[in-house]
Structure 1
Amino acid sequence: MPHAVARLRATCLATSLTRPHLDRGPPRKDRCPRCRLIPSHCLCALQPVVPTRAGFCLLMAAFESLKPSNTGWLVADVVPDTAAFGWSRVAVDPALLALLDDPQWQPVVVFPAEFAAPERVVTTLAPTSGPVPASVEEAVSTPRPLFILLDGTWSEACKIFRKSPWLNRFPVLSLHPDQCSRYRLRRSTHTHHFCTAEVAALCLAMAGEAHAAQVLGAWLDVFSSRYLRARQSVPPDAEDDAHQRLRALHPPAATPFAPR
């Protein structure tokens, strides 16, 4: 079954009367519908899936799900409990509100502290957001962390944060990573701006899901490697550092790929 971002993409394709040209340079190339790369660089057979206690809710700007370079898609690849919704200033999807009200989840908006009221800002997760509970009883009574990620350009993410009053009831998690972004698929003038998959990996690490965080980081690196080599008309290198790291963290035989 297609994951949440793939379903949102399909809906956007079916309902949008006009769509931007999102491939770099003519002509537009055929792409694998599953991984969004051109067939010669397809990485579907390598896709990892890591069940986690933490979940993600992606609020995606208009047409973001259609962009081949979008990395929210990679989060949904790796983390099964990933939901995705298109953002609108004038309407809120009832399914989104139902998700945020679900008692199994403890929602938190991930965004820089300087844009939020001080009383909303947190820099660590509440104790209920730690590692997997030790018993079934504890798991039932302990809310799971749900990271709300604003997926779009920096200006789009700021707009979503400012113009979504229904998010105001949730705390704002401010991340302070000690490294610069490694994302190379879109240009940014700020090295402290991270792509959605990088932010998600930081959230997983904070939630005690170190292995899932490492796998997602490696998956992003493999995707980036193949995406850039496809853009340069260079064959993929299955033995580069990114591919070797992904295989070490998540051997292909561990979770056989099943088309969705």
Structure 2
Amino acid sequence: MGHTLGLLGIVQMKQFLHIGMDKNLVSTLLPTKPLFLCHCSVSFPFPMPFRRHCSNLRGHSSLSHTNMAQEEGVVSLQEWQGWGTTSPLPTMVAQIVGDLKGLEQDLDAHMSFGGNGGKLKGNFRIQEDKKHRATYQALADSEKKLQFYSARQIACRILGSRGYLCQKCWLPMEDCMCSEVTSCSLHPGIRFWLYMHPKDFLRQNNTGKILWQVFGVDAASLCLFGIAEHEEIMWNSLKVAGKSKVWCLYPNKSAVLKSVKNAFDQEPVTSDEVAPSELKVETIHHFILIDGTWSNSAAMFRRLQDKAKLVWGDEDLPCISLNPGASAMHKLRPQPSWDRTCTAAAAAGLLSEMQLLPQFRSIELDKQAEAIEHALTILLEALTKRRVRMGRSITRKVRQTNIR
């Protein structure tokens, strides 16, 4: 019952919140097409009816002066890791932050964010747009272009969120839900990887962040799409674990999907007396959850598949298919297909299905799933209260789409 309520809750949340689907983004990530085909102001993960300035930042105008940007503390390691990661500050993110601050000095103007979507505003936006387009065009290959695109999105979101969003829950300070979230230990034989699109980074209604709020950043690790340092950390762990211990939760129609039961049929019964320190790295199951809009997920999954083939050969990355949700979910908000749901609900569903198998019954995965569902309910309530307070509708208009 708890699991069902959690899934219904997040579907209701999606009713309340209009999530824009960037249909052009998947094509922009393909190496055969230019990345910026139209005006490319960065859209931030929060509505901002007022202008905010980032006047307390320091930096350097040259993209080549990475170390200077870091040494001057434009984005400190503590600030970076406060957003939900244990990684060092990515080099290109630091470069772009320094470049933005250098442009402030050159123009003698402050960065400001505001309006619908919280975009860069005014003359600074115009000049920054020209500069980043020129930088992008000068990059030699599609991989560098993707890395630049992702780093720029993330750098701007960090600068635009300072003093506005809580670093833990990514909600505005006045709506912070952290005190209501109950932490829980994830079974040490399981590790989640949140493979997140940069457009979902610091997004208020993102649900992937709930996993490290509940389980901690070591059990549920953030890996940002297109950020070289993050992807290297994740793949180093996956290589050590081996392909047989790596699964992707994604409805890949071009490959054979395994149910949770089929995936773990040969798994030995787990003892609940094994201490985390005694577990070997190769005994840990790694689950990759693609955290982005469905229109962006295809490019993200393709990148995972390409890397898996380089690491393990020609076979596809193993995918797990979860049981479809209750029909009531689709009445509340139609989904593209029965096997699609939000990131946190997918994680809860996985744990709930694993709990039904004999080898996992002793490790209380159902309670860990309930902890996710509880946090989802809190997120739904916080977002709903905010919309009511701001005079916005808490119901979503049904759009006529051809869902196949």
Using the size of structure 1 for normalisation, the TM-score is 0.70
Residue 151 of structure 1 corresponds to: 291
Secondary structure in structure 2 of the residue aligned to 1:128: coil
* 8 Å contact kept, 1:56–1:148: yes
Residue 115 of structure 1 corresponds to: 254
Change (3 A) 1:181 1:78: farther
The answer as to 2:313 corresponding to 1:174 is no
Displacement of 1:47: 2.0
Change (3 A) 1:92 1:155: same
Residue 5 of structure 1 corresponds to: 84
Displacement of 1:102: 2.8
Change (3 A) 1:222 1:109: same
The structure with more helix, counted as a fraction of residues: 2
Change (3 A) 1:135 1:226: closer
Secondary structure in structure 1 of the residue aligned to 2:286: strand
2:342 to 186, 190, 195: 195
**Rounded Cα–Cα distance in structure 1 between residues aligned with 2:328 and 2:207:** 13
* 8 Å contact kept, 1:58–1:84: yes
1:96 to 200, 223, 234: 234
The answer as to 2:189 corresponding to 1:51 is no
Change (3 A) 1:149 1:205: same
Secondary structure in structure 1 of the residue aligned to 2:198: coil
How many residues align? The count is 227
**Rounded Cα–Cα distance in structure 2 between residues aligned with 1:113 and 1:207:** 20
Displacement of 1:132: 5.1
Change (3 A) 1:23 1:60: farther
2:245 to 103, 106, 114: 106
Residue 251 of structure 1 corresponds to: none
Q: Which moved more, 1:124-133 or 1:42-51?
A: 124-133
**Rounded Cα–Cα distance in structure 2 between residues aligned with 1:200 and 1:47:** 17
Secondary structure in structure 1 of the residue aligned to 2:221: strand
The answer as to 2:223 corresponding to 1:85 is yes
Residue 38 of structure 1 corresponds to: 172
**Rounded Cα–Cα distance in structure 2 between residues aligned with 1:167 and 1:216:** 29
2:202 to 66, 73, 98: 66
Displacement of 1:60: 1.2
Task: State the Cα deviation string for residues 14-54 of structure 1 (Å, max 9, x = none).
Answer: 555689x7996679993323222233322111222211122
* 8 Å contact kept, 1:22–1:68: no
The alignment's C-alpha RMSD in Å is 4.0
Displacement of 1:231: 2.2
Task: State the Cα deviation string for residues 84-132 of structure 1 (Å, max 9, x = none).
Answer: 111129998321211112339921011114132x2xx211232438655
Change (3 A) 1:52 1:201: same
Give aligned-pair identity as a percent. Answer: 19
* 8 Å contact kept, 2:194–2:223: yes
Displacement of 1:148: 0.4
Letter in 2 for 1:48: T
Structure 2: runs of 5 or more not aligned? 1-77, 101-110, 120-159, 356-364, 391-404
* 8 Å contact kept, 2:238–2:246: yes
Letter in 2 for 1:167: A
Using the size of structure 2 for normalisation, the TM-score is 0.47
Structure 1: runs of 5 or more not aligned? 235-260
Letter in 2 for 1:63: K
1:216 to 372, 377, 381: 372
